[in-house]
């Protein structure tokens, strides 16, 4: 099935339309949605990531933001984020808990793949997350905020990110296997966490704590883990 995208210039002015594969080959600016999925439990904050299906043409097996996808021609980015969240994660978006954060530009070149995206960034807060991953997703993992911050700040190419799957099992995932979006995370998402004012003193304390982001901490809470998988 052909997927048509609206095409823009670098000033976000529409210039035409193109097929998705042509946009990725020619480096044409097009719209996508990025939905960061968040759950707060007490003073802890978890962010959810999907592992892209190994059958995907682009970045198979990599871990990415909770829900991502293209805005098709004639579709609003709000409708797109709701559609993609359901198709990929099985999450029906409650728009009352959805916050629009803004737009960032991302450029990715890998061989013949030339992707220039206008990313509409959203933050979705979930009180009791239930997921039913679609065929485009291998699995869903949860990462605590301090662990994600440590990974962003680390210069170690071999750094591994501590996470848990939806059954509470610990995972150690190489940082290089994540599709990282550092600009939108640090500039748009992070300031909205911890009630909208991020406390850097708390961040520093968490980063220095030996149990602030390790698996031992996650395993201790396994019985009250906020995330659950809903198998179909």
Q: How far apart are CA 178 and CA 192, in angstroms?
A: 22
Q: Rounded mean pLDDT of 90-105?
A: 95
More confident residue, 82 or 130: 82
Predicted local confidence at residue 28, as pLDDT: 98
Contact 198, 191 (CB under 8 A): yes
Full set of structural domains in the chain with CATH: 4-222 (3.90.79.10)
Q: How far apart are CA 217 and CA 12, in angstroms?
A: 44
Which three-class secondary structure state does DSSP give residue 83? Answer: helix
CB-side exposure of 88: number of CA atoms within 13 Å? 30
- The conformational region for residue 201 under phi > 0 = left, psi -120 to 50 = alpha, else beta, is alpha
Q: What is the pLDDT of residues 163-211, one digit of tens each?
A: 999 999 999 999 999 998 988 999 999 999 865 544 444 433 433 333 2
């Amino acid at each position: 099935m052909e997927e048509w995208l609206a095409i823009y210039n670098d000033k976000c002015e529409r210039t035409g339309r193109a097929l998705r594969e042509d946009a990725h080959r020619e480096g044409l600016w097009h719209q996508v949605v990025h939905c960061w999925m968040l759950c707060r439990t007490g003073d802890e904050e978890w962010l959810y990531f999907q592992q892209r299906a190994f059958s995907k043409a682009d970045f198979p097996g990599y871990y990415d933001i909770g829900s991502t996808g293209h805005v098709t021609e004639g579709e609003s980015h709000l409708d797109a984020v709701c559609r993609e969240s359901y198709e990929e994660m099985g999450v029906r978006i409650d728009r009352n808990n959805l916050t629009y954060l803004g737009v960032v530009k991302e450029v990715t070149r890998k061989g013949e793949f030339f992707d220039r995206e206008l990313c509409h960034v959203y933050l979705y807060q979930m009180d009791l997350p239930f997921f039913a991953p679609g065929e485009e997703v291998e699995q869903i993992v949860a990462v605590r905020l301090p662990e994600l911050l440590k990974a962003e700040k680390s210069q170690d190419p071999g750094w591994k990110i501590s996470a848990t799957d939806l059954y509470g099992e610990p995972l150690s995932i190489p940082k290089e296997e994540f599709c990282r979006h550092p600009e939108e995370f640090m500039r748009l998402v992070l300031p909205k966490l911890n009630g909208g004012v991020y406390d850097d003193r708390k961040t520093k304390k968490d980063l220095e704590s030996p149990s602030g982001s390790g698996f031992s901490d996650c395993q201790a809470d396994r019985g009250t883990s906020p995330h659950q998988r809903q198998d179909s």
